Structures are given as structure tokens and as C-alpha cells.
A = this chain, B = another copy of it.
Amino acid sequence: MDIGIVGLGLIGGSLGRDWRALGHRVWGVSRQAATVEQAVAMGAIDGGSTDLASFHGRPVAVVVICTPLDQVVPTGRALFPHLETTTVVTDVGSVKAPIVAALEPAWRRFVGGHPMAGTADQGIQAAQRGLFAGRPYVLTPTATTDPDTLACLTTLLRPLGCHLHPCDPAAHDQAVAWISHLPVLVSAALVGASCTGPSPAVLALAQALASSGFQDTSRVGGGNPDLGLLMARENRPAVAAALDHYRRQIDYLATLIQTEDWAALHTYLRQTQAGRPAFVAPDPPPAAPPQPL
């Protein structure tokens, strides 16, 4: 199959590497010519361009928009005029409802997507084979989605070894608000509090003594601020609702400690111990890496 990828970073490059290994032909578009060259050199694409118009007359069956989250909608709108009307289009943005609301009416064969895979590194140089194996891959068809469009994407994605989760765009956005976006804010607030709360002497001691508990709990809050901002901005209603509910948990814990209600605190901590494994049960063994067709 001929596939197009717009945006050649970690996700776009990794999709290209897997699909080429499976025997597909991949055309890539990036804003930077150097990125296109690097993607060709590392085998992520067969060829590419810096111009979306390069799709004109090219027989791609599917195009995947892999730009940063806030560029997905403008990229889609700029892309559509250059495609055959039969082309299936999807994206990999981490917030789905606004993208689907904007692009589905503009392109009959659009379905939103979100592969839940990543590494600490970014950019085409971090692209790797097997990135999606064993990981969730969300697709967000709606009532108006053509079944053939969804089937085409399913056929293309399943050989990557990912676990496909079709769901409603709004349900996706609410779910990731709890498990991806809220953790960033919770964790950032821990770093913010620990930097500004202690006296200078206690701060120096805290920095010297901090160990794995602080390290793990603060990791995502000390990450890329651009990504943290984007997810809060693009998924604002769901993130605001999750943060509000979280704040009530903190208020409750503060009250328990204030009133020395140790029995209730113990109950709460027993419930969180019991509740966590459903979110972090060991992944099923990764599927076999993609094999040539």
C-alpha cells in the first residue's frame, strides 16, 4: 500500500520504519528538508518533500498526520485539497474531540487516532521499529464514519502489534485527562511546592535527601513544558474537571490530617493501594515485531 506521513518526528518516523519493513511504500512530508533527508537515510520513508502539494497525483491510500498537537487541524485543512477523495486520513494527536470536530466535516474519510507510545527522546533521530508493539492505539470513529475507512486503518495498524481501542473522541479525552494530563499537573505541583515551600536550609537538605519516591512522583511534572501546556489547553474541559476532583481529594486528606482521623486516612490509603493495580497491571507480552508481508 502507498502511505503518506506528514510530520516526521518520533511517531511519524517510527510508523514509517514499521510500515516499510512490512512492505509498504511511504511518502513523507516535513517542514525541514534536512528531516526528510534524515528520514530517507534511516529508512523511515522511501522519499519525501517539504511541500504538501507533493501529494498531488500521488496514489496514497492513507495519510497519517503526525505533527505536534496544535498543528494537526491546520495541517489537515492544508492537506485535503491535494488528496484524492478516496484517501483515508488519520492523525496521532493526544486530544481527539476538537480535532475530530474540525476535520471530520472537512474530510469524509477522516478518523482520529492516538497511539499511546513514546520514549523520553523526540524527533526523527529517536524513531524506532516496534515502538507500537504491545501498546494501546486508540481510534475514534463516530456515527458518521464509513465502515470501510475504519476497516482500512485497522488492517494497516494491526500488523504493528498494537492493541486497537476504538472509542468515542470525548471518552478518549476524558480518559487521558485522568491518566496522562492530570499526572503532569499533580507532579508539577509537587515540584513547585517543594521548590518554594521549604526554608533555604531545609530546601538544601531536601534536595540532598530526595530519592526514588520523589524522583518517580516528580518525573512527568519536570518534563517538556510545551507538551504540558498543549495538553491542558487542548483538553481544557476534561483536564479542569479532573483537576477539580483531584483538589477535593487533597482537601479531604488535609482534613483527615488536621483532625487526626487516622482510621479514615488508613482506609483511604488501603483503597488507593487496592485501586492502583487495575491501571498498571503488567502489559500483556508484546506481540511479535512486524514481519514482512
Contacts and interface: CB of A to CB of B under 8 A. Distances in A.
A239 interface: yes
A179 B194 contact: yes
Given A188-B268, A225-B269, A198 B178 contact: yes
Contact of A213 (B213, B220, B249): B220
14 contacts: A116-B209, A165-B209, A167-B205, A178-B193, A179-B194, A182-B190, A191-B276, A207-B278, A218-B280, A232-B257, A233-B265, A246-B250, A247-B251, A250-B250
Contacts of A135: 211
Contact of A240 (B178, B257, B280): B257
Given A180-B211, A189-B253, 8 more contacts: A171-B201, A175-B206, A183-B190, A213-B219, A213-B220, A216-B217, A221-B272, A243-B254
A274 to B, nearest CB: 9
Interface residues of A, number: 94
B242 A279 contact: no
A123 interface: no
Interface of A: 116, 135-136, 138, 163, 165, 167, 171-172, 174-176, 178-180, 182-199, 201-202, 205-211, 213-226, 228-229, 232-233, 236, 239-251, 253-254, 257-258, 260, 262, 265-266, 268-273, 275-280
Nearest to A248: B193
Nearest to A283: B211
